[in-house]
Amino acid sequence: MARVKLEMPRHFTFTTEMPVRISDINYGGHLGNDAVLSMIHEARVRFLKNHQYSELDVEGRGIVMTDSVIIYKAEGFHGEEVQIDVTVTDFNKYGCDFFYLLSNRKTAVEIAHAKTGIVFFDYSERKVVAVPEEFRNRFIKDAE
């Protein structure tokens, strides 16, 4: 089976930091894959909050994650601070992609590259809906 490839954007529009907690460590003694997915979820929530949104209210619509890709580059260890750079790009009719670059804040060593695909969702109707134009317009210039 071919390895998954992920082409990362050139620049990111938001940065946050979080520590590697003891609960993030797996039996190999390093940052676990499940913890990375949780960290990028937290980074996405912080990104949205920074723009006065939440996962349940982006211009009146919710979001649902449709896929995720994580490419591991290096280990992360308990107590290290991870810098997570986030951007949104690749808009289509119903959604877009969030990209994440996880790095050791102190050494700048890249720990992981990640992407989550999202679609916009009307929770009252239980159906996928178009990307809100206000959201697209806010970020489309950054994605170019």
Q: What is the average pLDDT value for the chain, to the nearest integer?
A: 95
Contact 138, 48 (CB under 8 A): no
User: How deeply is 131 buried, as exposed, middle or buried, from its count of CB atoms within 10 A (0-12, 13-18, 19+)?
Assistant: buried
pTM of the model: 0.94
How far is Cα 63 from Cα 57, in angstroms, rounded to an integer?
8
Give the tens place of pLDDT for each residue, 11-70. 999 999 999 999 999 999 999 999 999 999 999 999 999 999 999 999 999 999 999 999
Backbone dihedral region for residue 60 (phi beyond 0: left; psi -120 to 50: alpha; all else: beta): left
In what helix (H) or strand (E) does residue 140 lie, and over which residues does it extend? helix 133-143
Average pLDDT estimate for 65-86: 97
- Examine the pLDDT at 143 and tell me if it is beyond 80: no
